[in-house]
C-alpha cells in the first residue's frame, strides 16, 4: 500500500516523536527493552478483540487502525506513524481494541512488551501526561474521520488520506492499489478511481501501475476538506513538543 522509505540516518528509537519527547531519564529506562522490528506491508499487528502483547512505536512504518464489519468490509478510523504509538489499550486498562491494526506502509518500528511498558507507564507521571495528550489527539482524529466519511466527497477524503500519509513519511511516493485505498476509505473502488483521475488531471498526483507520487502538495492542501487541518491543529495544540520533533 505504501513504500518503505529508507531513512537517511541510522536507526534510532527517537525517530519516533513520542520517544523523542520523553525526558532523558525515562527514555534511558525504556531503551534496553525496545526491540527494532520490520513491519511488512499488510501485516496485522492486532485484530479486533485480541489481547495485545506489545506496544509499537513506528519510526518509518505507518499503521492503519481499521474497523472491520462482520461481512468483511472495513474503513480506516485513524492512522499512526512516527508521531504515535500502537497499542494504547494495553496501558489504558482495556487490554484489547475493537479495531484492527494493519501495516499500511512498510517500514520499521520499536516494540516493547506490554507488561514492561505498563510498569513504566504506572511509575512515571511525565510519560502518563504525554500519552494522555496523545490519546486525546488520536480521539480527535477518529472523530474527524467519522465526520469526513459522512459529509465530504470521496475527492476530499482521498486528499485528506494522502496528506495524512505524507505527514508520516519522509518521501512523496506511495506504492498502493486503488482497491486498497478504497478499503481504507470504506468506499467503492470506482469512486477512488474517479477521484484519483481528477487529481491526476489537475497535476496534483501521478499514478501508474500502483505507484502514486505527490506532485503538488500545496494543491492537495487547497483541495482538501477542513478535516485535515482540524486534526493537524489538534495534534499541534495537544502535542507541541512532539510535533516539533
Q: What is the pLDDT of residues 183-235, one digit of tens each?
A: 778 788 888 889 988 999 999 999 887 788 999 999 999 999 999 999 999 98
54 touches 87 (CB < 8 A):
yes
CATH topology of domain 13-125: Jelly Rolls (2.60.120)
Q: Which residues contact 233 (CB under 8 A, 6 or more apart)?
A: none
Q: What is the per-residue pLDDT across 118-149, written as a single tens digit (0 to 9) for each? A: 999 999 999 999 999 999 999 999 999 988 98
Strand 100-105 relative to strand 35-39: parallel, antiparallel, unpaired?
A: unpaired
Q: How far apart are CA 111 and CA 57, in angstroms?
A: 6
Chain-centre distance of CA 25, in angstroms?
27
124 touches 116 (CB < 8 A):
no
State the Rg of the chain over Cα.
18
Going from N- to C-terminal start, the domains of the chain cover 13-125
Band (pLDDT 50/70/90 cuts) for residue 61 is very high
Q: What is the per-residue pLDDT across 151-180, written as a single tens digit (0 to 9) for each? A: 899 999 999 999 998 888 877 887 777 887
Question: For residue 181, which of 202, 197, 204 has the smallest C-alpha distance?
Answer: 197
Give the count of beta carbons closer than 10 Å to the beta carbon of residue 96: 14
pTM of the model: 0.87
Question: What would the grid cell of residue 132 be?
Answer: 494522555
67 touches 77 (CB < 8 A):
yes
Band (pLDDT 50/70/90 cuts) for residue 2 is very low
As beta bridge partners, residue 2 has none
Amino acid at each position: 500500500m505504501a513504500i518503505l522509505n529508507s531513512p537517511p540516518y541510522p536507526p534510532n528509537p527517537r525517530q519516533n516523536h513520542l520517544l523523542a519527547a520523553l525526558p532523558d531519564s525515562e527514555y534511558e529506562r525504556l531503551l534496553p527493552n525496545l526491540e527494532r522490528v520490520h513491519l511488512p506491508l499488510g501485516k496485522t499487528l492486532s485484530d479486533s478483540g485480541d489481547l495485545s502483547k506489545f506496544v509499537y512505536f513506528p519510526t518509518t512504518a505507518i499503521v492503519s487502525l481499521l474497523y472491520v464489519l462482520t461481512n468483511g468490509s472495513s474503513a480506516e478510523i485513524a492512522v499512526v506513524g512516527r508521531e504515535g504509538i500502537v497499542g494504547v489499550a494495553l496501558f489504558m486498562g482495556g487490554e484489547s481494541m475493537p479495531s484492527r491494526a494493519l501495516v499500511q506502509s512498510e517500514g520499521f518500528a520499536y516494540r516493547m512488551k506490554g507488561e514492561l511498558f505498563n510498569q513504566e507507564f504506572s511509575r512515571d507521571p511525565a510519560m502518563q501526561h504525554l500519552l494522555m495528550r496523545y490519546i486525546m489527539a488520536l480521539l480527535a482524529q477518529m472523530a474527524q474521520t467519522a465526520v469526513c466519511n459522512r459529509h465530504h466527497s470521496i475527492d476530499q477524503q482521498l486528499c485528506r488520506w494522502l496528506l495524512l500519509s505524507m505527514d508520516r513519511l519522509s518521501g512523496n511516493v506511495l506504492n498502493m492499489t486503488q482497491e486498497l485505498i478504497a478499503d481504507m476509505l470504506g468506499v467503492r473502488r470506482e469512486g477512488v478511481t474517479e477521484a484519483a483521475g481528477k487529481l491526476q488531471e489537475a497535476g496534483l498526483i501521478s499514478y501508474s501501475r500502483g505507484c502514486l507520487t505527490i506532485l503538488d502538495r500545496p494543491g492537495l492542501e487547497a483541495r482538501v476538506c477542513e478535516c485535515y487541518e482540524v486534526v493537524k491543529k489538534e495534534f499541534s495544540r495537544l502535542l507541541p513538543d512532539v510535533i516539533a520533533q
